[in-house]
Amino acid sequence: MKKILFVFLLICLALGTAYAHPPKDIEISYDPATKILTATILHDTNNPLGHYIEKVDIGLNGQEIIEQKISRQENINSQEVNYYISDTNPEDKLSVEGYCSISGKLRKEIVVK
């Protein structure tokens, strides 16, 4: 009986991670006039309460300046975040890194115009 339970638990674990995946893409924009960074993290899920974007890190020129933890994904396709970032200059690099609550992460960056 213990062997059957053990095999069942292994199968459940394998199926749970089979559906886990990192974000598919991150769309980033920054408006120098308003100083607002907008990022849409594309991450398909059928369970935004259990499999979601759980954390977003924002970087400026390679240094992390914002870390936001998120408790659920806003919809089944993506998570959008907006931040006011006042201390940018032309040619600065802004990065966005999104973390899946189960497995994987993705990082993208843009250059401030």
- Residue 50 DSSP label: T
Pair of tokens at residue 98? 């999104």
Distance CA 43, CA 78 (A): 5
Q: What is the pLDDT of residue 5?
A: 54
Is residue 98's pLDDT more than 70?
yes
Domain membership of residue 8 (yes or no) is no
Q: Which residues of 23-51 are buried (b: 16+ CB within 10 A; e: fewer)?
A: beebebebeeeeeebebbbebebeebeeb
Inside any domain, residue 9 = no
What CATH number did the domain enclosing 88 receive? 2.60.40.730
* pLDDT band (50, 70, 90) for residue 10: very low
Residue 39 covered by a domain: yes
With respect to residue 76, please indicate whether it lies within any of the assigned structural domains.
yes
For residue 70, is it within any domain?
yes
Range of the domain at 75: 22-111
pLDDT at 90: 97
Confirm whether 43 is domain-assigned.
yes
Predicted TM-score of the model (pTM): 0.83
What are the φ/ψ torsions at residue 83 (nearest 5 degrees)? -140, 145
Q: In the structure encoding, which two tokens stand for residue 73, read together?
A: 């994904």
Count of domains for the chain: 1
